[in-house]
Structure 1
């Protein structure tokens, strides 16, 4: 289940990065990566839900790791800025996912 979710996250990150690389959908190869990547991402997320992962936990993990990964790619590949406030924000997103996971475990 977590491997499927990881594949969905990687596909979503690849698709999102390719959105930037597509230059407004004017470059065919990145456009193909966007379409295929999002299809894999949503298919994987759908499969994880089908396997029984709670939607709140699945989406929180998917979104948080996607946000952190895309932000990291933006800094490394596109030389986008990263400052202390942004790092704190990313840490808060990750802390939120941990809280959802812990809360979900306590409720079960």
Structure 2
């Protein structure tokens, strides 16, 4: 598999994990069936895709950093935009720092 393929697997894992996490909020403590199913399927799919990216040679530190940071950023943005959760400049700065850390990990891997 090409490096692009591994990144596509990570992208799929991120989408699945974000869907699972947002659905976790919508499941209201697993009291709503459909969002609860999306939680289980989303997290299951995320871990399978993450595992496949690792199997195809992506370093675990880089893969996990990309997966976790992108997930955190997307969930925070979705929460702010659609779930009436607060977002302020301090939180935005934190997200920028997390993403910057991932960029440094990727840059360090390439050198």
How many Å apart are 1:29 and its aligned residue?
Answer: 0.3
Under a length normalisation based on structure 1, what TM-score does the superposition of the two structures give?
0.97
Partner Cα distance (1:7, 1:102) in 2: 22
Q: Name 1:43's counterpart in structure 2.
A: 48
Q: Name 1:7's counterpart in structure 2.
A: 12
Q: Name 2:81's counterpart in structure 1.
A: 76
Under a length normalisation based on structure 2, what TM-score does the superposition of the two structures give?
0.94
For structure 1, which runs of at least 5 residues remain unmatched after alignment?
Answer: none
How many Å apart are 1:2 and its aligned residue?
Answer: 1.0
How many Å apart are 1:93 and its aligned residue?
Answer: 0.2
SS in 1 for 2:70: helix
Within 5 Å, which residues of 2 pair with 1:55-74? 55-74=60-79
Partner Cα distance (1:91, 1:66) in 2: 13
Q: Deviations over 1:26-50 (max 9, x none)?
A: 0000010000000100000000000
How many Å apart are 1:86 and its aligned residue?
Answer: 0.3
How many Å apart are 1:56 and its aligned residue?
Answer: 0.3
SS in 1 for 2:29: coil
- What RMSD over aligned residues (CA atoms) do the two structures have, in Å? 0.5
Partner Cα distance (1:9, 1:99) in 2: 19
Would you say how many aligned residue pairs link Structure 1 and Structure 2? 106
How many Å apart are 1:80 and its aligned residue?
Answer: 0.8
Partner Cα distance (1:79, 1:65) in 2: 20
The counterpart of 2:36, out of the listed 31, 55, 61, is 31
Partner Cα distance (1:81, 1:22) in 2: 20
